[in-house]
Homo-oligomer: A and B are copies of this chain.
């Protein structure tokens, strides 16, 4: 029985210190979501596999954690089927449920199921764990939290504007300097359209993205190697070399994409978003970046991505506009736009830059030392009063050696220790020790409360 216990690979325990930091991240994000009128929902950890399968590609289907049916999960299976040992096929016989893989598909399912109770446009946020049977590696886990805010049921670009404001507000609150990059799927489609290579969008953006590293000549060579004719590559030159302010980029794009209706629509949308944002006091840099090409198989309009400026790390937030979120569940015509915060990466960035506020831990503020039953009887009513005043306080439960009690206070980083022995009891007071400075004073219970509350 007494085997050394462990947890499944790719999963984590969170200690009190880690939880304090994570709670700070989640509550900051939650507060901003609410400031912009988003409302929280939660969905079950388990969804029917029929809801999840086929939504994340073949690779995604394999990465779903499947839950074995209760009872006799063999029922209805022939010997032949069993002996086929077809793991993927039989998984769907053995299992009807799976753990959610992201928050988007459950959200789409939620919208369809509850459409009659929802006041559209529906601004929802959701902060819950998701599970993926990915190969665990540094920074990639099998259980991790997603923090998503989406608006569905509105085509207005004001939604995009507000989401950019929210990205800015969140990272300002964290004190993380970021660049918010925006792009538009329609601009990328327009580019592909004018050079007649609609299926080469990814190749083009990947190549353009390398300009700084490999130079124009090599970018053009790479484009040629992908089968893009020289004539098209020539047309791409102003786009590969696109630079300057957002306004300058937009001006160039208007010329280059003049013949593509879709492309011009993308330019117009980006222009509206960037111009509207400009008047709203955003503190982060917002940059039109054509190499931003995440989620090309589902984003249909604006695309967002946030990069931390002072830490080398991948994107720490992203999002975009998608059409027809709920079509697969039988409710067509619902457009949406959303953003998602990468809590684990934000955690690392805040750690690296040492940006956690000192009071984030919500840990005990004062520990009462335990000298035995008489002293405890004196201390307990004072302790009750201290808590009544809203101070997080505790008494060491056992009358252990002073040294042990003090190291407990140190281990929990408790800033004050209150001591009551014979002298203090006679005077109706306590000795309050500041664990940071080492100073100690004889105080009344009221003075203790006032000092600790400071």
User: Which residues of A are at the interface with B, using a C-beta cutoff of 8 A?
Assistant: 1-8, 11-16, 19-20, 22-23, 34-37, 39-48, 50-51, 54, 62-63, 65-68, 70-74, 79, 82-83, 85, 87, 91, 94-97, 99, 109-110, 112-114, 117, 119-121, 123-124, 129, 131, 133, 142-143, 151, 154-156, 158-159, 161-162, 165, 169, 276, 279-281, 327-330, 362-364, 367, 370, 376-377, 380-381, 384, 387, 390-398, 407-408, 411-412
Closest to A386 in B: B35
**Cα distance, A14 to B342, chains bound together (Å):** 23
- Asked if A394 contacts B37 (CB within 8 A), the reply is yes
Other 16 A-B pairs with CB < 8 A, given A37-B367, A68-B95: A5-B113, A7-B47, A13-B41, A13-B43, A13-B44, A37-B393, A45-B45, A45-B131, A46-B131, A68-B68, A72-B85, A82-B85, A120-B408, A123-B394, A156-B398, A159-B397
Knowing A34-B392, A279-B381, A328-B2 are in contact, say whether A15-B114 is a contact too (CB < 8 A).
Answer: yes
Among the interface residues A34, A67, A85, which one has the most CB atoms of the partner chain B within 10 A?
A: A67
- Asked if A19 contacts B42 (CB within 8 A), the reply is yes
What does DSSP make chain A's interface, helix, strand, loop or mixed? mixed
- Asked if B48 contacts A398 (CB within 8 A), the reply is no
**Cα distance, A114 to B17, chains bound together (Å):** 13
User: Which residues from chain B contact A65 at a C-beta distance below 8 Å?
Assistant: 46, 67-68, 70
**Cα distance, A211 to B167, chains bound together (Å):** 64
User: Which residues from chain B contact A13 at a C-beta distance below 8 Å?
Assistant: 41-44, 110, 113-114
Partner of A8, one of B14, B46, B82: B46
**Cα distance, A99 to B151, chains bound together (Å):** 32
**Cα distance, A19 to B143, chains bound together (Å):** 22
Jot down 12 A-B pairs with beta carbons below 8 A, ordered by A.
Answer: A5-B48, A5-B51, A7-B47, A12-B44, A15-B114, A19-B40, A67-B99, A94-B94, A119-B408, A158-B397, A162-B395, A281-B381
User: Which residues from chain B contact A3 at a C-beta distance below 8 Å?
Assistant: 50, 329-330
9 nearest CB pairs, A to B: A37-B394, A119-B411, A11-B44, A16-B39, A2-B330, A156-B397, A37-B364, A74-B85, A70-B133
- Asked if B19 contacts A41 (CB within 8 A), the reply is yes
User: Which residues from chain B contact A158 at a C-beta distance below 8 Å?
Assistant: 370, 376, 395, 397
- Asked if B67 contacts A67 (CB within 8 A), the reply is yes
**Cα distance, A189 to B165, chains bound together (Å):** 64
Partner of A72, one of B87, B99, B131: B87
**Cα distance, A146 to B7, chains bound together (Å):** 20
Closest to A326 in B: B5
User: Which residues from chain B contact A16 at a C-beta distance below 8 Å?
Assistant: 39-41, 124
CB distance from A147 to the nearest CB of B (A): 15
User: Which residues from chain B contact A109 at a C-beta distance below 8 Å?
Assistant: 5, 7
- Asked if A67 contacts B66 (CB within 8 A), the reply is yes
- Asked if A36 contacts B71 (CB within 8 A), the reply is no
**Cα distance, A363 to B5, chains bound together (Å):** 43
User: Which residues from chain B contact A169 at a C-beta distance below 8 Å?
Assistant: 387
**Cα distance, A22 to B40, chains bound together (Å):** 11
Partner of A36, one of B82, B154, B394: B394
**Cα distance, A151 to B129, chains bound together (Å):** 27
- Asked if A112 contacts B394 (CB within 8 A), the reply is no
**Cα distance, A43 to B19, chains bound together (Å):** 11
**Cα distance, A340 to B351, chains bound together (Å):** 33
- Asked if B387 contacts A276 (CB within 8 A), the reply is no
**Cα distance, A2 to B70, chains bound together (Å):** 27
User: Which residues from chain B contact A54 at a C-beta distance below 8 Å?
Assistant: 1
